[in-house]
Structure 1
């Protein structure tokens, strides 16, 4: 009986144990999660209310309102930035010696610990961001309708239906999703490598890599004199390339982060 129980605790993945691990990750630091959610909501609310006040202040009754593409683009920038910021907190539980010991003695496999943290900074973040954006959009509508009662009927929510019904909506969502996964995976990997100040160190490393890449491209350009001009890609081919490369690199970074995470259970024990 004892032997059978020991074999169970050494399993690579157990659904019940994984569920308990996810519950612990969500409930124990609930104050931290709540503060981050409120901060995310506050940033989005300030942006949307400010945009609404600037837009509706010059809107005449009966004039149709068209949302600026700049708002959508700015929304994506905030989404990426917050996603990377949350991803950099992947190893925050192991910043201190006490936190490392408490995390390492948790009765779960390394894969279960890693997957629970990954779900928290990826799936849970996306859901929380969507809820925060919805609440911020509701705040914008309520505040602006009180301030500009003469055009209250024209003050509406952000028309996301237009985004999802666009002819190229599938490609756009694919590019956004793959780009987000790629950027998020970089900061997950950076957090595993540098548990302390992961955001700053990962940003610095990416800037250095980007500068080296630009320098290498310039050297190749100077050596060859010009790039080959006979190679063209259609928009669909470019979208496929971006989506494919983004997903491959994201999976590679997540996998590398997992193996580095397993090593950290021994390296960072003391």
Structure 2
């Protein structure tokens, strides 16, 4: 049997993890549904004229995804914050890779799928209620009737927003992976500590790029990220410097797809050396 990864052993561990945590996971999904109901009800009270328009549905989905997804990821290794549970977790006969993959399956993949299902299940119901509220409000205020608000595809609302929302999803998975990593590094208050640490690291990176790296670059900025650098005030107008296509393609690919996996690799090595 492979000490690093064994498929049969991993499936057994997946089943064990589900049996031990299914109640918590199901209650979490119910809580998300309850929050969506409260939020939609609030919108109907403050804006009965147009409570659940297309933009509101998009904002609700992605704001809820970031808030609940990061909170959920920060609790995925909660057992390690308690002595007896932490010892049981570390002594469970499964490798660090199998435990991390289980956390990714439940905390990232299944959470995303389940959140989307819960969102649409409650969105369909609340849309019917919102259309009734809107219709009654327009009738009471003698306004012209409007077409009912429709269910929105939050991933492709239109062609112009498709690429933007795709990048938002990539950012979400990267940010959620940061909180998953934080659940391994911090014993208590993982969510708050990860949030504060992430903000500090982000500000340091911004300062480094603008103040340190920027001092070595000509006066200008990237006109297109990783593709074109625009130099200002050259005496002959603005000058565009086109970076090599292969270089810009590699940088763009790594930025889009490699950040979350790199954080998972860091989490793997952190989990291997974890002690209670």
**TM-score, with structure 2 as normaliser:** 0.76
The Cα of 1:72 is off from its aligned counterpart by 1.4
Please tell me whether residue 44 in structure 1 is matched to residue 36 in structure 2.
yes
Considering fraction of residues, name the structure with more helix: 1
- Three-state SS of the structure 2 residue aligned to 1:232 is strand
> 1:233 is matched with which residue?
224
> 1:26 is matched with which residue?
18
> 1:159 is matched with which residue?
152
Against the structure 1 CA distance between its residues 242 and 46, is the aligned structure 2 distance closer, same or farther, given a 3 Å change threshold? farther
Query: What are structure 2's unaligned runs of at least 5 residues?
Result: 139-144, 229-248
CA contact (8 A) 1:191 1:198 kept: yes
Please tell me whether residue 255 in structure 1 is matched to residue 265 in structure 2.
yes
Match of 1:92 among 70, 78, 82: 78
Considering fraction of residues, name the structure with more strand: 2
CA contact (8 A) 2:131 2:149 kept: no
Match of 2:49 among 30, 44, 58: 58
Mapped to 1, the partners of 2:253 and 2:62 lie a distance apart of 16
Mapped to 2, the partners of 1:80 and 1:243 lie a distance apart of 23
Against the structure 1 CA distance between its residues 160 and 221, is the aligned structure 2 distance closer, same or farther, given a 3 Å change threshold? same
Mapped to 1, the partners of 2:227 and 2:148 lie a distance apart of 36
Q: Structure with the greater relative contact order (CA < 8 A, sep ≥ 6): 1 or 2?
A: 1
CA contact (8 A) 1:53 1:144 kept: no
> 2:95 is matched with which residue?
109
Match of 2:205 among 205, 208, 213: 213
CA contact (8 A) 2:73 2:107 kept: yes
Match of 1:203 among 190, 195, 208: 195
Mapped to 1, the partners of 2:157 and 2:172 lie a distance apart of 21
| Aligned residue-pair number | 249
Query: What are structure 1's unaligned runs of at least 5 residues?
Result: 1-7, 60-64
